Chains A and B, each alone.
Chain A
Amino acid sequence: MIGAFKAVFWSFFGVRRKAEYDDDAKKLTPQAVIAAALVSTAIFVLALYGLVKLVTR
């Protein structure tokens, strides 16, 4: 599961090292990646919202 989150994190950035990607391809299932992506998006939204709250305080 941590692996899926890592893969999703790097995808938000848009890059992935070849060796690590090969590792992903072996270990990760699509379901895990999609779940991690949805959770990460939620975290991303909350983090941005927190940042916004911080600067508008």
Chain B
Amino acid sequence: MTAAAHAQDHAHHDDHAHHPTGIKRWLFTTNHKDIGTLYLWFSFTMFLMGGVMALLIRAELFQPGLQLVNPEFFNSLTTVHGLVMVFGAIMPAWVGFANWLIPMQIGAADMAFPRMNNWSFYLVVPAAILLVASFFVPGGAAASGWTLYPPLIIQQGISIDMTILAVHILGASSIMGSINIITTILNLRAPGMTLMKMPLFVWTWLITAYLLIAVMPVLAGAVTMLLTDRHFGTSFFNAAGGGDPTMFMHIFWFFGHPEVYIMILPAFGVVSAIIPAFARKPLFGYASMVYATASIAILSFIVWGHHMFTVGMPAAGNLFFMYATMLIAVPTGVKIFNWIATMWKGSMTFETPMLFSVGFLCLFTIGGFSGLVLAITPVDITLHNTYYVVAHFHYVLVSGALFAIFAGVYFWLPKWTGNMYNETLGKAHFWLSVIGFNIAFFPQHFLGLAGMPRRIPDYALQFAEWNMWSSVGAFIFGFSQLVFLYVVIECIRSGRKSEQLPWEGADTLEWTHLPTPAPYHTFETAPVVK
């Protein structure tokens, strides 16, 4: 090495030693690992806030009659619970995983646009504040349901404008995040890391990012039209002025259905990393997984009408959406079979990440089946807006997306922190969550079939029994998440060093090519992938 080069090398190192510390480190950070950490803690904070709202809802529904909250506030609770969980908890958690993992899994030094990355994160904070603060303005928080349907949403007060602004900001953040992720994946892969060698988590996020870019502007357009209907005299959704409220539903669900895949595709990626590692076998059907993910994404754009079977579409429209919806279940089913085939004759062990993945597999499948039931138009006409729908989407979102997030956190905590979590407590978290979850949500199928409508603070006496069970389960589930918080904090502080490769079956770059914990800067020179 020449002296000059050596000096430069030296300066380089000093540079690293001088990155800001304390609050400045987190405010100004452009490091993908720091930003990933910020997203994950943000997401967990929102998860707890949304969780408190959920427990208030379940406390009110513990018994028939009105006990704790008034009906307007109850409606605000269901609305903001939904918005906070979708946009504040699940989506940012996946962006956090993307930040931590994508650069390491493709052998890149960081994300393609590190400063934009910082900005993407710091946009979600004011949006969250707007949502939560809207509870405290005159008229209370949005009470329209998370789907923001007019005409109800046109009538409420300033909190709606705050919600609309929050949605706009979140959309901008998601779009920037997606541009970053797509550019990183397409341009910064290490030599030899061809597209079809990428881990499935990277693939699922690549496809998710395209979905986000395609539908976030649609949502932004829809809420902008709400805003102008509210304040500037337009009548997009107002029948009295020549508009049509069902048009909002079409636009919203053209966003909304791809959105549910945005929340579940990264989960498929995480589970596809964990199941092979604990079955000690390669993923069955890697290529078909990639292909199936891509077609699920494309087909997700032509099924939105299954949310609108009761609005009076022509029979041909209803049938079209029914057939299309049922056909998407085919590639989804193939994925389930691929995961089962991966486990087939594997030498399996069931540490916490695997437990959550197997839990995901079983329970997400139940959610898929109830989806198929709802996709049958004549059946949906009786089940729409009942608790059956609530049961369906909690099976796909909680035991689907959220369980995959837990699985991923337990799986990568050693890589992120360098320490091993407490396995006994992790397992306790899993079992409490599964049991609580099923007690809370399985009876909601019965309630829905018996005709209990969703989004009501009071109900007829015949629904009392199962509602009581559901509330008990919800409280078990809710409080078990404090175990999770404890496990994570205990892991970080314990100093119980993880082995370099805590999971013998893990074979992606972050495990095979990097030390544990991953240092602050990784892959400054790209690895060569064979």
**Which A positions have Cβ atoms within 8 angstroms of B?**
7-8, 10-16, 18, 21, 24-25, 30, 37-38, 41, 44-45, 48-49, 51-53, 55-56
Stretch at the interface among B111-119, B164-172, B290-298: B290-298
Interface residues of B in 280-317 (CB under 8 A from A): 285, 287-288, 291-292, 294-295, 298-299, 302, 315-316
Tell me the interface secondary structure of chain A in the complex.
helix
Which residues on B sit within 8 Å (CB–CB) of A37?
Answer: 294-295, 298
User: Does chain A have a CB within 8 A of B28?
Assistant: no
Minimum CB distance partner of A30 in chain B: B195
Stretch at the interface among B328-336, B402-410, B481-489, B504-512: B328-336
Asked if A14 and B287 sit within 8 Å, CB to CB, the answer is no
Asked if A52 and B319 sit within 8 Å, CB to CB, the answer is yes
Asked if A13 and B331 sit within 8 Å, CB to CB, the answer is yes
Asked if A52 and B323 sit within 8 Å, CB to CB, the answer is yes
Which residues on A sit within 8 Å (CB–CB) of B331?
Answer: 11-14
Asked if A56 and B319 sit within 8 Å, CB to CB, the answer is yes
User: Does chain A have a CB within 8 A of B344?
Assistant: no
Which residues on B sit within 8 Å (CB–CB) of A38?
Answer: 298
User: Which residue of A11, A48, A52, A56 is within 8 Å of B294 (Cβ)?
Assistant: A11
User: Does chain A have a CB within 8 A of B350?
Assistant: no
Which residues on B sit within 8 Å (CB–CB) of A51?
Answer: 323
The answer to whether A52 and B333 touch (CB under 8 A), given A11-B291, A15-B285, is no
Asked if A14 and B316 sit within 8 Å, CB to CB, the answer is no
Asked if A10 and B316 sit within 8 Å, CB to CB, the answer is no
Asked if A14 and B330 sit within 8 Å, CB to CB, the answer is yes
**Bound-complex Cα distance A45 to B288 (A):** 22
The answer to whether A16 and B288 touch (CB under 8 A), given A25-B196, A48-B324, A52-B319, is yes
**Bound-complex Cα distance A10 to B288 (A):** 8
Which residues on A sit within 8 Å (CB–CB) of B324?
Answer: 45, 48
Asked if A41 and B335 sit within 8 Å, CB to CB, the answer is no
Min CB–CB distance A13 → chain B (angstroms): 6
Which residues on B sit within 8 Å (CB–CB) of A49?
Answer: 316, 320
User: Which residue of B195, B295, B327 is within 8 Å of A11 (Cβ)?
Assistant: B295
**Bound-complex Cα distance A7 to B195 (A):** 16
Min CB–CB distance A5 → chain B (angstroms): 13
Minimum CB distance partner of B194 in chain A: A25
Asked if A11 and B320 sit within 8 Å, CB to CB, the answer is no
Minimum CB distance partner of B323 in chain A: A48
Min CB–CB distance A53 → chain B (angstroms): 7
Min CB–CB distance A15 → chain B (angstroms): 5
Min CB–CB distance A20 → chain B (angstroms): 9
Extra inter-chain contacts (20) besides given A11-B291, A11-B292, A56-B319, CB under 8 Å: A7-B291, A8-B295, A10-B288, A10-B291, A11-B295, A11-B331, A12-B299, A13-B330, A14-B332, A14-B333, A14-B334, A14-B335, A16-B285, A21-B287, A24-B287, A44-B299, A48-B324, A48-B327, A52-B316, A52-B320
**Bound-complex Cα distance A8 to B299 (A):** 12
